[in-house]
Structure 1
Amino acid sequence: MLQVWLRGQHSPLLVWQGGSQTWQSYADWQQLREAVSEQSVCLYFPSQHVQQLPTDLTPAQLKQLGEAGKQYLFEEISLIPAEQLSVREIHNGPSNQPLTAPLYAIGRNDIAAWLHSAQLGNFSIVALLPDFLLLPVPVDGIGQQLNLYQDRQTTLIRQSEGQGMAVSYLPLVIERLPHLSEICVMAPVDTGHGSASDSHGDGSDNTDAVAASLVAIKNSLSAQASADLILTPLAVSPTPVTAPERHPLNFYAKPSSLKLSPYLKVTMMVAVAALVFQLSADALQWYHYKQATAATKQAMAAQYQAWFPEERLSAKNTIQLSLQPKLATSNAADSPHTALLNRIAPLIKQSSLTAQALEMDPNTLSFTVIGDNRDSLDKFASTLSAQGIEASLGRVTNSEQDKVAGQVTIAVMPPVT
């Protein structure tokens, strides 16, 4: 995996050479592609893109906030919309202790731009780290010592394992660190050559660069600050971190196959619940339909058996197929039941009665008549008898809407052959 350092937006790319422990400069990704064959890259991006937010929250509390909650902690200090930030934290202590380092955030548009630039050179970025992590961790406690790197492209400081930043005006930063007693100054790695070459000169060049940096820093500080601070040359160069992919401040996130918003998740859950409810309702309706169908078949078979007691209903034929020849024969012979009904129907209408619940047996015809009172039913029975129809009025009961109902049974005379 290539370790690439991008110090500024238009600065050359510095690539770490593990064998010689030096940085080598390349003009752009295309030139780097011509020189190397590796595909995966760890990119150290400019720390000036990083936003910092000191917080007293513990890792457990930040976990409860979730990604969205941590993003909106930056809402008041960030010019980038909170939902477009990628937030990271670093903490080595217990989860119930406040963070020892601030929260870090960068815009996702910056991440996309760096990924796109690397893809133009056919490189695949697998880790994105702020470049202040290239500086060694100070030996003394927090606030007493810091390591400083400065060249024509950037100025970086590192105060502890999880604290560092890019600096635009060093005296202002020093004034905000009242307990600072020592600044360890590192030699710049940029020699000013634009071609791919070893970015380190010989030892005398490094010594001159550090001395020039010390003089520049002293001149920029006030007389009091310059007298109180110890400026120490640091004989090490910026070095890549070990296992950058697992570093807490790795801002590269592997693209997931599917990431749903909370709103879409709730919508899908509601849709699934509605679908399950609809399927359950359809299944229940189908169950009741099957029960009704079975009950109807049983009732039809019982009625068929009552009409034709000497015949058994075939399970292979439908009721319609079984009844059709009999109905055709009955109609052709003008059955006595039909003839009797034709005689009774005008009499029912003439008596202003209502007939219902017709039942036919081989020897009888019975139905229920509904009238206004008992006398109307008696008169109807008398009318039937006067017409030569053997009829009897059964039990009379009260019906709805102040009416009475009675059961009329009529004897059916067999046809004369």
Structure 2
Amino acid sequence: MLYLWMPEGDAAWRWRVNVTDVWHTAANWDELLQATSTEQQKEAIVFFPTSSTQILRQPMTRQQLRQLGPTGVRYLLEEYALLPVDQLAVHYQLDQGQLGQNPLDKSLVDASEHVNIMALPASLVGQYQNIMALGVWRIQALLPDFLLVPAPTQLHEAQLIIHQQQRILRVGEYVAYCADDLPILLDYMPDLLQLNIWGQPDEQDQRAIEGIAGLAVSIYAWESTPPPLTDAQYIRHPFNVLPKAKAQLSGYWPAIAAVLVATLLVQMVYDGVRTWRYHKIAEQTHTMAVQQFQSWFPEERRIVNLKRQFEAHLQSNSNMDLTALSLISRVGPLLQQANLPASQVQYRDNVLELTIIASGLPALESLRSQLSDQGLNAELGSVNPASGQVSGLIRVQL
């Protein structure tokens, strides 16, 4: 995992490859891309300046938070935010207070419930995303940079981060303040007992620190300090401002998603082609049925409902019964296959008489033979010439 520390203003970028690596410096964006290109890192966690945020902590129980809801939490910032609250990206987390290293010492324990709210302009989150989109990494988390140092472990303890021109004072697991004017900020913390400094304080910082009586001070180098959280904890952190819908999937999930989408598209195309093919077959069958009907009943030129018109012709013959329908259903396909139109159809005395127009006597004889092969009694009657063709009478019965 690649860690990127976004600068404030025109300061330098910081980057490290893993938790054991030290922080490296890149003077600008192009140098950052060049320096990290050899690391072969595909995913990154980005830390932006805490000074971009506004953090509010106030007492609130879990029941009160549930009743207030996300919209109510947003309006808690109305008195403090410079922007309208609907233009803010708001993230919050409930905690059980701060526990010291010695729970028996009540002076180092704050067991009350608090809600911790972090807000920053939604447009600024979009700008951060647009900047990182110019890189080659999949951004997994976008977090305030006070999370790069450990949280205080005691009630009256704070972490001072000195990074380039930034001063950040972390006073809790979810709370940190911009400490550009450190003397004024420390004046509001007279009960501070332990101050851990990450970086080198200047003379003004030193005078402000020495002004607090009884304050114990420890100095650490943030350049070689491992992050206090794991990659997974950073990604799941409640102050990760990266929109969940735009968070990048890692591992094999993109490939699996691509396969599922491809499978779905193939199935849709297959179903579409099959439906189109069945539709064409249905149209062809209907066209053949209409042509056969018109060849049997040439006076019927307008087809409205083929089934009802055919039934009407059958019912018009008083001697017609189901035997006629059975004969027609067996004779019709053979006529279509041989492409022989029937100019006249009559059914009487259980005999179906068909007047067939054919190219010659062999075609009529072939049709009679095919009907006989179907188990029907077929007889070829009179044959007469008709406009270069022949008109023959074929009698068929079961």
SS in 1 for 2:120: strand
The match for 1:93 among 96, 104, 116 is: 96
The answer to whether the aligner puts 1:170 opposite 2:173 as a matched pair is no
Rounded Cα–Cα distance in structure 2 between residues aligned with 1:256 and 1:184: 36
Q: Indicate conservation of the 8 Å contact 1:90/1:99, yes or no.
A: no
Rounded Cα–Cα distance in structure 2 between residues aligned with 1:236 and 1:122: 26
Q: 2:65 — aligned with what?
A: 62
Q: 1:46 — aligned with what?
A: 49
Q: 2:206 — aligned with what?
A: 218
Instruction: Show structure 1 runs of 5+ residues with no match.
Output: 188-209, 258-313, 322-417
1:117 maps to a residue whose letter is I
1:23-42 equivalent positions in 2, closer than 5 A: 23-35=23-35, 36=37, 37-42=40-45
RMSD of aligned Cα (Å): 3.1
Number of equivalences: 233
The match for 1:184 among 196, 204, 225 is: 196
Rounded Cα–Cα distance in structure 2 between residues aligned with 1:66 and 1:256: 24
Q: Deviations over 1:360-393 (max 9, x none)?
A: xxxxxxxxxxxxxxxxxxxxxxxxxxxxxxxxxx
The answer to whether the aligner puts 1:119 opposite 2:133 as a matched pair is yes
1:257-296 equivalent positions in 2, closer than 5 A: none
Q: Deviations over 1:204-230 (max 9, x none)?
A: xxxxxx4xx274423246x7x344423
Q: Indicate conservation of the 8 Å contact 1:157/1:167, yes or no.
A: yes
SS in 2 for 1:54: strand
Q: 2:215 — aligned with what?
A: 229
1:113 maps to a residue whose letter is Q
Taking structure 1 as reference, are residues 177 and 84 closer, same or farther at Cα in structure 2, changes over 3 Å only? same
Shift of 1:174: 0.8
Rounded Cα–Cα distance in structure 2 between residues aligned with 1:315 and 1:18: 83
Taking structure 1 as reference, are residues 231 and 60 closer, same or farther at Cα in structure 2, changes over 3 Å only? same
Rounded Cα–Cα distance in structure 2 between residues aligned with 1:246 and 1:226: 37
Q: Deviations over 1:162-219 (max 9, x none)?
A: 22222121111111112112222222xxxxxxxxxxxxxxxxxxxxxx4xx2744232
Rounded Cα–Cα distance in structure 2 between residues aligned with 1:214 and 1:145: 21
1:254 maps to a residue whose letter is K
Q: 2:161 — aligned with what?
A: 149
Q: 2:13 — aligned with what?
A: 13
Rounded Cα–Cα distance in structure 2 between residues aligned with 1:59 and 1:230: 35
Q: Deviations over 1:214-249 (max 9, x none)?
A: 74423246x7x3444233223555543312111121
Taking structure 1 as reference, are residues 19 and 74 closer, same or farther at Cα in structure 2, changes over 3 Å only? closer
Taking structure 1 as reference, are residues 162 and 31 closer, same or farther at Cα in structure 2, changes over 3 Å only? same
1:255 maps to a residue whose letter is A
Taking structure 1 as reference, are residues 63 and 251 closer, same or farther at Cα in structure 2, changes over 3 Å only? farther
Taking structure 1 as reference, are residues 11 and 64 closer, same or farther at Cα in structure 2, changes over 3 Å only? farther
Tell me the TM-score normalized by structure 1.
0.50
Q: Say which one has the larger Rg.
A: 1
Shift of 1:81: 1.9
Shift of 1:3: 0.9
Tell me the TM-score normalized by structure 2.
0.52
Rounded Cα–Cα distance in structure 1 between residues aligned with 2:85 and 2:172: 27
1:387-406 equivalent positions in 2, closer than 5 A: none
Rounded Cα–Cα distance in structure 1 between residues aligned with 2:221 and 2:87: 40
Rounded Cα–Cα distance in structure 2 between residues aligned with 1:87 and 1:157: 21
Rounded Cα–Cα distance in structure 1 between residues aligned with 2:246 and 2:151: 34
